[in-house]
A and B are shown apart, each in its own frame.
Chain A
Amino acid sequence: MSSPAVVKVANRRAGVRHTSMFLRMLLRAAVLRRGRAASALSAMVVAAAVATAMLNLYVDVQVKLRKEFRNYGANVVVVAPEGQTLPAEALQKVRSVIAGRGLAVPFAYVAARTGDGQSVVVAGTDFDEVRKLDNWWSVTNWPAGAQDALVGTRAAAVVSPQGKPFALSFQGKTIQLNPAGILRTGASEDSRVYISRQDFESWTGISPSTIEIAAAGSPAEIDGVVQTLTQLLPAAQVRPVRQVMEGEARVLGKTRATLLAASALIILTSALCVLSTLMGWVFDRRRDFAIMKALGASERLISGFFAAEAAVLGAAGAVLGFVIGVGVAAWIGRVNFHAPVVPRFNVLPLILVGSVGVALLSAALPMWLLQRVQPAVILRGE
């Protein structure tokens, strides 16, 4: 009766039934015990979300904090030799080197005299740029018009105590200035008078001697900027502002280290949460396990079934958790840094592998315990 063809068909059919049965078991297990399955899945999702958020933050915090640190102002300074000025094309060269990733602001200085013969340092610069570079400057009103001056709070007491227009002279040439705003920094800027570069050059004929640069990027990139500028401007002295660079490196390093430690702890805790939930879930189904075994399922099939279940759970949890975690990281970025944290998709495989790994581990432990027990003992409820 049983021709080889019929056996073949029967075998194929058995194969089909076999897979569909497997799938059905997986599905029914999830549907019938949806309470337990949901709690296991939610543990998985939360763990994956927390891990994603922490990893995203850890990667992104450096960029975010670097931006904060740029508020300290210039990290590279180009200075002409004493008593000289920088070549006319210096500013252009500097701007082409930093190529939009930062700011470069020129400064020109002279010591001028007031009407009653007191000396005061006058600086010529671009106000729009300074405003962006040194945003710790406390300024009552930024000058806008020609011959408007920004007067340091200590200089103001000397040149224009009542806030009236005043005259300054340099090498016999005099300029009339309106004190448009008062500047307060707590440092040597307080003793200076700042005017626009156009006014400064038409008055003194002296071009900038200093360019202050706030270059964005890692220490290596900034080092590169310094190297390139040194080659381009051999006459000038190009030096990193070590005070700013060192402080940044230290604080950044320590913050990241703390965040890493915190991430490790949090991920460990959430992995533990998954472990205990999933272990409970598998352990709880020891009767299913025993029935399958009693009906003649092989150890490999049962292990495969539970492993597949755990893997599906882990993968689903990881994907859902990744989406939520990216959202959490973006929210933290917005709340704390006022800029969203950009999602890092290269974190996803890591989360996926980690989640599936933890899920498999938490299924394997109870399985190992159950395998040593006779099905009859379990079915009797002992």
Chain B
Amino acid sequence: MFARLVYESFRRQKRRKLLAGIAITLGVGVATAMIAVATDIGDKISRELRTYGANLLVTPQEDTLDLQIGGVDLKPPSDGAYLNEADLPKIRGTFWHHNIVGFSPMLPVTAGVQSDGGPSTLPLLGTYFAKRLSFGKEDFVTGVKITHPWWKVQGAWPDENSQDVLLGENLARRLGRKAGDEIAIAGQEHRISGILSTGGAEDSQIVAPLSLAQQILGKPGAVRRLYVSAMTKPEDALARRDPKTMNAELFDRWYCSPYVQSIAYQLQEAIPHSHAEQIRQVAQNEGAVLSRIKGLMLLVTLAALFASALAVSAAMATAIFERRTEVGLMKALGAGGGSIAAIFFVEAALLALMGGAVGFAGGTLLARAIGLSIFNSRITIEPVLFPFVLAIAVVVTFAGSALAIRRAVNLDPVYALRGEA
């Protein structure tokens, strides 16, 4: 009898059930999309913040002081220690290698250049542009195109295996060269594949593949410093602690969190005789901006959850209120308050489950659309979210119905049947 009552109610009141169902579906859809966006926004913004470039700098442990003024290196190239280029792919073997977006080795040297005004000595920077490397079975591409996204090239980036070079825009203007010209560096002709504009010191330099700089220096495999761009978690109290003072359990937690400090620690482990340090300008501010945006989205998500909970309860309350004659009839026929409430709650649960499932699917699509249109990447939704969202839908639907059900049950059947509630 009970099952039949519920079944008939759904069969006969299609319009009302549809309206309540639509409200639940929309509410759950919006809630799902917002939860998905809010949980993923940290990751997405973190990726966007990588526009600021590398947040970690790896230098040789026994290095002498930098002698840079206004981006011009005064240190003799022969001075100081070097990292070994062969160690670099090992970065892909560290614990947090998925968080490492890219890295670029740098080797500043000076090179004799033959130009129209006679021979001169010019700074030359060796680096990777978009170098294909492999670690184990894995192939990956890294270089300044990833770690220094604000570098702009007019013309083309040099092919990694060629001997082509880029000319900084100020230097190009001074030498009167343009993309496609040839330039004699250290007695060899090189093609200028493009003109580089960075807004920094590189604008007055030659930027060449790393191997060319090593050849000029006469030290194969030498790297002066390494810029690493990694996605990190905002710093907290644990992050700032010295790993040497931690116990084993705490150390594991620290080591397995993508703090900029623990990634620096792992880089030092991976590359022998190196010193890794966070570039505070990028790393510190990244944490601040990230936590602000995450906090904002969290509060906005709460507002969305609140609004959809309210929409669902309003729809349910209206749906039940409209059925008070029915309640009056049931009561007149001798139904107890408990069994009437049970019918309504079962109906509400069924509606919530159906609306919740459809809403979850719709919300997933919505989140995906938001991710694709704003961040050009998919927002992934954890399947764990599904039972969680369904449970919320049922609870909210119940809460929204409870008051209306109570009023319906307490109603005097005589008034209800006469339609005077």
Interface residues of A (CB under 8 A from B): 39, 43, 46-47, 50, 53-54, 57, 61, 64-65, 68-69, 71-73, 79, 82, 109-111, 118-121, 134, 136-138, 154-155, 158, 184-188, 190-191, 209-210, 239-244, 246-247, 250-251, 254-255, 257-259, 261-263, 265-266, 268-270, 272-273, 276-277, 279-280, 283-284, 287, 328, 332, 335-337, 381
B385 touches A (CB below 8 Å): no
Total count of chain B residues near the partner, CB < 8 A: 74
**CA A210 – CA B52 in complex, angstroms?**
22
> Are B419's CB and A118's CB within 8 A?
no
Q: Which residues B123-149 have CB closer than 8 A to chain A?
A: 148-149
How distant is B290 from chain A, measured CB to nearest CB, in Å?
A: 9
Contact partner of B74 (CB less than 8 A), chosen from A50, A119, A158, is A119
How distant is B98 from chain A, measured CB to nearest CB, in Å?
A: 22
Given contacts A69-B289, A158-B65, A276-B318, 18 further A-B contacts (CB under 8 A): A57-B296, A119-B67, A121-B69, A136-B281, A186-B281, A190-B66, A251-B45, A254-B44, A266-B34, A266-B307, A268-B30, A270-B311, A273-B307, A276-B19, A279-B318, A280-B321, A284-B322, A332-B296
**Chain A residues closer than 8 Å to B150, beta-carbon distance:** 242-243, 246-247
**CA A73 – CA B27 in complex, angstroms?**
43
How distant is A215 from chain B, measured CB to nearest CB, in Å?
A: 15
Q: Which residues B32-59 have CB closer than 8 A to chain A?
A: 33-34, 37, 41, 44-45, 48-49, 51-53, 56-57
**Chain A residues closer than 8 Å to B370, beta-carbon distance:** 258, 261
**CA A137 – CA B380 in complex, angstroms?**
36
> Are B74's CB and A258's CB within 8 A?
no
> Are B51's CB and A259's CB within 8 A?
no
How distant is B402 from chain A, measured CB to nearest CB, in Å?
A: 14
> Are B26's CB and A269's CB within 8 A?
yes
**CA A244 – CA B148 in complex, angstroms?**
12
> Are B74's CB and A185's CB within 8 A?
no
The segment from B241-249, B272-280, B388-396 found at the interface with A is B272-280
B357 touches A (CB below 8 Å): no
Contact partner of A247 (CB less than 8 A), chosen from B51, B301, B325, is B51
A280-B65 contact in complex given A187-B281, A250-B48, C-beta closer than 8 Å: no
Q: Which residues B103-125 have CB closer than 8 A to chain A?
A: none
**CA A166 – CA B339 in complex, angstroms?**
90
A277-B292 contact in complex given A82-B72, A246-B51, C-beta closer than 8 Å: no
Q: Mark B374-413, 1 if CB is under 8 A from A, else 0.
A: 1100000000000000000000000000000000000000
> Are B68's CB and A191's CB within 8 A?
yes
> Are B374's CB and A272's CB within 8 A?
no
> Are B289's CB and A57's CB within 8 A?
no
How distant is A223 from chain B, measured CB to nearest CB, in Å?
A: 13
How distant is B231 from chain A, measured CB to nearest CB, in Å?
A: 14
B5 touches A (CB below 8 Å): no
How distant is B294 from chain A, measured CB to nearest CB, in Å?
A: 9
> Are B292's CB and A65's CB within 8 A?
yes
**CA A347 – CA B34 in complex, angstroms?**
24
Contact partner of B292 (CB less than 8 A), chosen from A68, A279, A284, is A68
> Are B37's CB and A262's CB within 8 A?
yes
B288 touches A (CB below 8 Å): yes
**Chain A residues closer than 8 Å to B74, beta-carbon distance:** 111, 119, 121
B70 touches A (CB below 8 Å): yes
How distant is A139 from chain B, measured CB to nearest CB, in Å?
A: 11
B198 touches A (CB below 8 Å): yes
Q: Which residues B266-307 have CB closer than 8 A to chain A?
A: 277-285, 288-289, 292-293, 295-297, 299-301, 303-304, 306-307
How distant is A48 from chain B, measured CB to nearest CB, in Å?
A: 12
B308 touches A (CB below 8 Å): yes
B336 touches A (CB below 8 Å): no
**CA A244 – CA B282 in complex, angstroms?**
9
* Minimal Cβ-Cβ distance residue in A for B149: A246
A244-B52 contact in complex given A272-B311, A336-B292, A337-B292, C-beta closer than 8 Å: yes
Contact partner of A43 (CB less than 8 A), chosen from B49, B148, B314, B375, is B314
B83 touches A (CB below 8 Å): no
**Chain B residues closer than 8 Å to A69, beta-carbon distance:** 285, 289
Contact partner of B45 (CB less than 8 A), chosen from A184, A255, A261, is A255
> Are A185's CB and B26's CB within 8 A?
no
**Chain A residues closer than 8 Å to B317, beta-carbon distance:** 39, 277, 280
A54-B69 contact in complex given A119-B74, A251-B289, A270-B311, C-beta closer than 8 Å: no
**CA A258 – CA B311 in complex, angstroms?**
22
A-B contact pairs, 11 of them (CB 8 A): A39-B314, A65-B289, A71-B288, A72-B285, A121-B69, A158-B65, A247-B150, A250-B48, A251-B48, A255-B296, A263-B300
**CA A73 – CA B307 in complex, angstroms?**
39
**Chain B residues closer than 8 Å to A47, beta-carbon distance:** 307
Contact partner of B314 (CB less than 8 A), chosen from A61, A72, A187, A273, is A273
**Chain A residues closer than 8 Å to B318, beta-carbon distance:** 276-277, 279-280
B166 touches A (CB below 8 Å): no
A-B contact count, CB below 8 Å?
218
> Are A50's CB and B45's CB within 8 A?
no
How distant is A93 from chain B, measured CB to nearest CB, in Å?
A: 20
**CA A279 – CA B297 in complex, angstroms?**
32
Residue of A73, A188, A272 with most partner-chain B CB within 10 A: A272
Contact partner of B315 (CB less than 8 A), chosen from A241, A257, A276, is A276
> Are A381's CB and B51's CB within 8 A?
no
> Are B37's CB and A272's CB within 8 A?
no
**CA A220 – CA B48 in complex, angstroms?**
21
> Are B48's CB and A254's CB within 8 A?
yes
**CA A263 – CA B306 in complex, angstroms?**
13
How distant is A58 from chain B, measured CB to nearest CB, in Å?
A: 10
B23 touches A (CB below 8 Å): yes
Contact partner of A258 (CB less than 8 A), chosen from B41, B56, B64, B419, is B41
**CA A328 – CA B285 in complex, angstroms?**
27
B310 touches A (CB below 8 Å): yes
List the 6 closest pairs (A to B, CB-CB), nearest first: A280-B318, A273-B311, A242-B199, A191-B66, A247-B51, A247-B52
> Are B296's CB and A259's CB within 8 A?
yes
**CA A274 – CA B199 in complex, angstroms?**
53
How distant is A335 from chain B, measured CB to nearest CB, in Å?
A: 7
**Chain A residues closer than 8 Å to B64, beta-carbon distance:** 118
**Chain B residues closer than 8 Å to A247, beta-carbon distance:** 48-49, 51-52, 150
**Chain B residues closer than 8 Å to A57, beta-carbon distance:** 296, 300
**Chain A residues closer than 8 Å to B69, beta-carbon distance:** 109-111, 121
**CA A258 – CA B379 in complex, angstroms?**
12
**Chain A residues closer than 8 Å to B279, beta-carbon distance:** 185-187
**CA A209 – CA B150 in complex, angstroms?**
25
**CA A246 – CA B199 in complex, angstroms?**
11
> Are A336's CB and B285's CB within 8 A?
no
A65-B293 contact in complex given A138-B280, A186-B278, A251-B51, C-beta closer than 8 Å: yes
**CA A239 – CA B318 in complex, angstroms?**
63
**Chain B residues closer than 8 Å to A111, beta-carbon distance:** 67, 69, 74
**Chain A residues closer than 8 Å to B322, beta-carbon distance:** 280, 283-284
How distant is B186 from chain A, measured CB to nearest CB, in Å?
A: 22
